[in-house]
Amino acid sequence: MNEYQLLVEAFNRTTYPLSGHGRRSIQVLKEAFQDVDENLDSDIYGSGQLIEDFQAEMAEFLGKESAVFFPSGTMAQQIALRIWCDRKGFKKVAYHPLCHLEIHEQDGLKELHHLEPVLLADKNRLIHLEDVLNMDKEVACLLLELPQREIGGQLPDYTELEAISAYCREQGILLHLDGARLFEVLPYYEKTAAEICALFDSVYVSFYKGIGGIAGAILAGSEDFTQESKIWKRRHGGDLISLYPYITAADYYFKQRVHKMGQYYEEAKELASFFNQSEAVSTLPVEPVSNMFHVHFELPKEKLMPILIAIYESTGIGFTQVLREIEGTTSCYYEASIGDRYAGVPKEKLREAFKQLDEKIREAQKVDKR
């Protein structure tokens, strides 16, 4: 067994993992369906009360005319960008260099839709108004991800967001929201989802991040936009005869958790402050603006792993099961994301874990300097 597997194993044995809602097990489905009437009819190829009711509910929550349930955000977002490009007659879309479409989708946007991404901003910072003002004039659509996951879940100021939206409207550039974690930023912005979505022409939200469902996404916008998206959904092979396993779970966990985002946000700030007390550890952002943030350690991955394993074993606290290197440095990081679990973690265990973390990292750094 290598070091990496040892970390996963040690994490899986902890009593108090700090991230998420719980294990992704069959129980997630069983709980969601427990009280659902077994005689309820399946949705059939996008029709039927079960899917139509949920779509209407989400359209209302997001303040859009219409909404369509998709098996994945990958499918929903490629389709949104394709529709906007077709309407504008341009092939270019603009987004952040660490956009999901650029780094996690095997170039589906290019390979299937033949669209050309224009990468805005340096990958280590947010897209700003100035980047948009200086953008290629043949961009049909700008995608903004709120929060920008790959840089710790950072957010632009709301006034900057409004200015970007106003500029795009003025210039006829379509604005699409990658809202994979939209629900999670509502407490920081102190806005409703509908208020934020009003700045965008189309919106995608996910149901298995902060909401903790099984899978699935909603794409929302005007009626003509969502109608067109259903044709592309069929073309992509996403218009399944039955999507209810995902829809029913999305609906169940949405109702259970959408009002808990404020709690997760406060807990994220608390947890980040624990990390930031240690000299060789810092969080990005320093003060989280949602339930997520990145934790940076000034120590190489292979030095940190045995430290984490020792802490997991002596305290039962689990920070993470995976560490990633930070390019061009000897540091490493992981993504923390607060869910239901954090509230159940005893504070004295947590303090003990952070005490050990601080001591062990200092010790390791001393050894390094000898």
For a copy of itself, the binding residue among 61, 84, 200, 246 (CB under 8 A) is: 246
Q: Applying CB under 8 A, does 28 fall inside the site for a copy of itself?
A: yes
Phi, psi of 149 (to 5 degrees): -55, -50
For a copy of itself, the binding residue among 235, 259, 324, 351 (CB under 8 A) is: 235
Q: How many residues bind a copy of itself (CB under 8 A)?
A: 51
For a copy of itself, the binding residue among 15, 106, 171, 277 (CB under 8 A) is: 106
CA angle 253, 259, 262 (to 5 degrees): 125
E-strand ranges in 123-256 read: 139-145, 174-179, 202-206, 217-221
Complex with a copy of itself: residue 239 or 266, whichever CB lies closer: 239
Picking from 55, 104, 57, 50, the residue whose alpha carbon sits closest to that of residue 78 is 104
Q: Name the region of 322 (left: φ>0; alpha: ψ -120 to 50; beta: rest).
A: beta
Q: Which two structure tokens, joined as six digits, stand for 35?
A: 């009280």
Q: Applying CB under 8 A, does 35 fall inside the site for a copy of itself?
A: no
Cα–Cα distance, 117 to 109 (Å, whole number): 9
Q: Exposed, middle or buried: residue 116 (CB in 10 Å: 0-12, 13-18, 19+)? A: middle
Q: Minimum distance between the CB of residue 243 and a copy of itself, rounded to whole angstroms?
A: 8
Q: Applying CB under 8 A, does 113 fall inside the site for a copy of itself?
A: yes
Contacting range for a copy of itself; rule: CB under 8 A; set: 89-97, 102-110, 170-178, 271-279 = 102-110
Q: Minimum distance between the CB of residue 75 and a copy of itself, rounded to whole angstroms?
A: 3
Strands 202-206 and 174-179: parallel
According to CB under 8 A, which residues from 47 to 76 bind a copy of itself? 70-76
According to CB under 8 A, which residues from 181 to 220 bind a copy of itself? 208, 214-215
For a copy of itself, the binding residue among 47, 111, 172, 348 (CB under 8 A) is: 111
Complex with a copy of itself: residue 114 or 362, whichever CB lies closer: 114
Q: Applying CB under 8 A, does 253 fall inside the site for a copy of itself?
A: no
> Position of tokens 């929302």?
220
Cβ atoms 336, 290 nearer than 8 A: no
Q: Applying CB under 8 A, does 41 fall inside the site for a copy of itself?
A: yes
Q: Minimum distance between the CB of residue 68 and a copy of itself, rounded to whole angstroms?
A: 13
Contacting range for a copy of itself; rule: CB under 8 A; set: 32-40, 135-143, 259-267, 355-363 = 32-40
CA angle 59, 65, 70 (to 5 degrees): 50
Inter-CA distances, 113 with 86, 101, 221, Å: 10, 12, 20
Residues lying near a copy of itself in the complex (CB under 8 A) are found at 23-30, 33, 36-42, 44, 70-76, 78, 105-108, 111-113, 208, 214-215, 231-232, 234-246, 248
